[in-house]
Amino acid sequence: MITPAQTLTMAAAIIMSAATATLVWLSLALLARIAPRASLTMAGANACAALSLTLNATRGVLPDALTCWPADVLAVASFALLGAAVPAILTRHLPWKPAAIAVAMSGLAMLALPYGGDMRWQTRIVSGMAAVLVFVAGMAAWRHLSATAGRRTPASLALPLFLISLLMALRGVDSFIHPGTAPDVRAPTALNLGLLWLALVMTLLLNATLAFLVLMRLIHRIERLLERDPLTDTLNRRAFDQALEQAHAWFRRGRAYAVVMIDMDRFKQLNDTLGHAAGDAALHQMVRELQPCVREVDRFGRLGGEEFCVLLPDTGIAGAALVAERMRALVHATPLRWLEQDWPLSASFGIAEAERGDASANAVLARADAALYRAKAQGRNVVQA
């Protein structure tokens, strides 16, 4: 036979777990400065959950005005913050407005209901709103992880969100199937005890899962810093060389590739005349103008100074020439605006494709570099193969 002490013990375990998670997320946000907005949102979600269950457990001890309605609003706030934290972790966008609207609507709806005797409609509002909020967050996580995550962050990490959504939906459905059952979480019923056990497991699992996603986001950021040029956000020389070697390995298996070497014309003159800040701005602008020509499968890297290179998989010399000519026209069409004056920009391009006799990718790069020097010798702002 299930006793009230069993349900209260389970509720206390969930409160302790949520309170501990609150401290952990606060430490991540305030001390470690890891995903601070997302971590603070998760801390708020756990704090609201712990406080809501605490107020539920004190019904009958404290006045109902301090326990019933505030506990239900805090429960909705907990799920709303959870739903906002998931996209904040995955995309760095915190959708706080939908969360605030959900809490306000639920609070107003429950404020109009009597808190005494039958409180099934309060249970249905809290459970229904929680199920919807968490399900939407689960779908967003599933889509994002399916579209962008690698093998280290599979889409199945969104499953705990769907389980919590199902858990809350079941609690709402039960209020219709068994209308005589008290909706109080302290009620010694088999369903309540089972839901509390599941809630404890889900609290631990969900916090662990989202902490893992935060960790993977941090690792991804570190990896990006290691492979990106800090000025232009293109691949640095080391990362580009690795991509080039991989492309050459695929070339030995029959997959063609070409490279486009790019060198900004008269860059030293620009630096000497307008200053190094203008030179940095010119490089930024050139990269921005070239980006529309770079496909998702291509690799765009900075080799050093004003010299860049684009790796074009599955592309021959003719395709590379078309891409390079489009790039040349885009750079030439937009002068640099600096200190109320326009400075004309242009770049020279050398292209080459991998050939059967190439022992390594360096041979392809050397031919493209030689073509680039010929382009410079021909007067600059030209494409040479």
For 293, which DSSP code?
G
The contacts of residue 134 (CB under 8 Å, 6+ apart) are 79, 82, 83, 161, 162, 164, 165, 168
Q: Which position among 306, 307, 340, 353 bears the catalytic label?
A: 306
Would you say 81 and 99 are in contact if contact means Cβ atoms under 8 Å apart?
Answer: yes
In angstroms, the CA 106 to CA 125 distance is 7
Structure tokens at 134: 């968490």
The contacts of residue 166 (CB under 8 Å, 6+ apart) are 131
The residue with tokens 């302790």 is 16
Is residue 355 part of the annotated active site? The answer reads: no
Q: Which residues pair with 312 in a beta bridge?
A: 258
Structure tokens at 279: 């030179």
- Say whether 32 sits in a helix, a strand or coil: coil
Nearest residue to 234 (alpha-carbon basis) of 282, 304, 316, 281: 304
Q: Which residues are catalytic?
A: 306
